[in-house]
Amino acid sequence: MKLMRLLAVAVVVLLVTSAPALAEDKANVATFYGAAVGAGLGAGLTIFGAALGFGKIGAAALESIARQPETAGRVQTAMLIIAALLEGATFFSLIVCILVAGQA
Protein backbone atom coordinates (compact mmCIF):
# COMPACT_ATOMS: atom_id res chain seq x y z
CA MET A 1 0.00 0.00 0.00
CA LYS A 2 2.87 2.35 0.75
CA LEU A 3 4.32 1.64 -2.69
CA MET A 4 1.02 2.61 -4.35
CA ARG A 5 0.89 5.86 -2.38
CA LEU A 6 4.48 6.65 -3.28
CA LEU A 7 3.79 5.92 -6.93
CA ALA A 8 0.66 8.10 -6.90
CA VAL A 9 2.56 10.98 -5.28
CA ALA A 10 5.36 10.63 -7.83
CA VAL A 11 2.89 10.79 -10.72
CA VAL A 12 1.14 13.82 -9.24
CA VAL A 13 4.44 15.62 -8.66
CA LEU A 14 5.53 14.81 -12.21
CA LEU A 15 2.30 16.16 -13.68
CA VAL A 16 2.29 19.28 -11.51
CA THR A 17 5.91 20.21 -12.11
CA SER A 18 5.64 19.80 -15.87
CA ALA A 19 3.24 22.75 -16.23
CA PRO A 20 5.82 25.49 -15.46
CA ALA A 21 8.24 23.86 -17.87
CA LEU A 22 5.66 24.05 -20.63
CA ALA A 23 5.14 27.77 -19.96
CA GLU A 24 8.69 28.51 -21.16
CA ASP A 25 9.90 28.82 -24.72
CA LYS A 26 8.77 25.77 -26.68
CA ALA A 27 11.99 25.52 -28.68
CA ASN A 28 14.14 24.65 -25.66
CA VAL A 29 11.79 22.51 -23.61
CA ALA A 30 10.79 18.90 -24.19
CA THR A 31 7.02 18.55 -24.26
CA PHE A 32 5.10 16.39 -21.82
CA TYR A 33 1.60 15.30 -22.66
CA GLY A 34 -0.33 14.71 -19.45
CA ALA A 35 -3.49 13.79 -21.34
CA ALA A 36 -1.67 11.07 -23.26
CA VAL A 37 -0.22 9.65 -20.04
CA GLY A 38 -3.65 9.79 -18.42
CA ALA A 39 -5.23 8.07 -21.41
CA GLY A 40 -2.61 5.32 -21.25
CA LEU A 41 -3.17 4.79 -17.54
CA GLY A 42 -6.94 4.85 -18.06
CA ALA A 43 -6.71 2.25 -20.82
CA GLY A 44 -4.53 0.03 -18.63
CA LEU A 45 -6.93 0.29 -15.70
CA THR A 46 -9.86 -0.42 -18.01
CA ILE A 47 -8.28 -3.61 -19.32
CA PHE A 48 -7.28 -4.69 -15.81
CA GLY A 49 -10.82 -4.13 -14.51
CA ALA A 50 -12.34 -5.98 -17.44
CA ALA A 51 -10.01 -8.92 -16.86
CA LEU A 52 -11.07 -9.08 -13.22
CA GLY A 53 -14.73 -8.87 -14.21
CA PHE A 54 -14.50 -11.62 -16.81
CA GLY A 55 -12.60 -13.82 -14.35
CA LYS A 56 -15.26 -13.40 -11.69
CA ILE A 57 -18.06 -14.05 -14.17
CA GLY A 58 -16.43 -17.23 -15.40
CA ALA A 59 -15.57 -18.50 -11.94
CA ALA A 60 -19.08 -17.91 -10.62
CA ALA A 61 -20.67 -19.53 -13.67
CA LEU A 62 -18.46 -22.61 -13.47
CA GLU A 63 -19.09 -22.98 -9.76
CA SER A 64 -22.85 -22.70 -10.15
CA ILE A 65 -22.88 -25.18 -13.05
CA ALA A 66 -20.79 -27.60 -11.00
CA ARG A 67 -23.23 -27.36 -8.10
CA GLN A 68 -26.39 -27.69 -10.20
CA PRO A 69 -25.68 -29.09 -13.67
CA GLU A 70 -29.36 -28.98 -14.65
CA THR A 71 -29.27 -25.14 -14.68
CA ALA A 72 -26.31 -24.96 -17.07
CA GLY A 73 -28.31 -23.49 -19.95
CA ARG A 74 -29.74 -20.63 -17.94
CA VAL A 75 -26.40 -19.90 -16.27
CA GLN A 76 -24.58 -19.81 -19.60
CA THR A 77 -27.17 -17.47 -21.07
CA ALA A 78 -26.92 -15.10 -18.11
CA MET A 79 -23.12 -15.31 -18.19
CA LEU A 80 -23.00 -14.37 -21.88
CA ILE A 81 -25.36 -11.43 -21.37
CA ILE A 82 -23.31 -10.10 -18.46
CA ALA A 83 -20.06 -10.61 -20.37
CA ALA A 84 -21.46 -8.73 -23.38
CA LEU A 85 -22.47 -5.80 -21.19
CA LEU A 86 -19.03 -5.76 -19.56
CA GLU A 87 -17.32 -5.89 -22.94
CA GLY A 88 -19.43 -2.99 -24.20
CA ALA A 89 -18.52 -0.84 -21.23
CA THR A 90 -14.86 -1.78 -21.67
CA PHE A 91 -14.85 -0.81 -25.34
CA PHE A 92 -16.58 2.49 -24.54
CA SER A 93 -13.94 3.30 -21.94
CA LEU A 94 -11.11 2.37 -24.31
CA ILE A 95 -12.55 4.56 -27.07
CA VAL A 96 -12.77 7.49 -24.64
CA CYS A 97 -9.12 6.91 -23.72
CA ILE A 98 -8.12 6.83 -27.39
CA LEU A 99 -10.03 10.07 -28.06
CA VAL A 100 -8.37 11.78 -25.10
CA ALA A 101 -4.95 10.63 -26.29
CA GLY A 102 -5.73 12.02 -29.75
CA GLN A 103 -6.54 15.44 -28.27
CA ALA A 104 -3.06 15.75 -26.74
- Domain count of the chain? 2
- The closest of 55, 43, 57 to 90, measured between CA atoms, is 43
38 in the same domain as 27: no
Domain range for residue 49? Answer: 34-104
Predicted local confidence at residue 11, as pLDDT: 78
The span from the first CA to the last CA of the chain, in angstroms, equals 31
Residue 22, pLDDT score: 56
Name the pTM for this structure.
0.62
The pLDDT tens digits of the residues spanning 89-101 come to 999 999 988 888 8
Residues 6+ apart with CB under 8 A from 71: 64, 65
Claim to verify: residue 22 and residue 46 sit in the same structural domain? no
Residues 101, 35: contact at Cβ < 8 Å? yes
Residues 63 and 15 placed together within one structural domain of the fold: no
Query: Do 17 and 66 lie in a common domain?
Result: no
For residues 89 and 55, state if they share a domain: yes
Chain segment 60-99, per-residue pLDDT in tens: 999 999 999 999 999 999 999 999 999 999 999 999 888 8
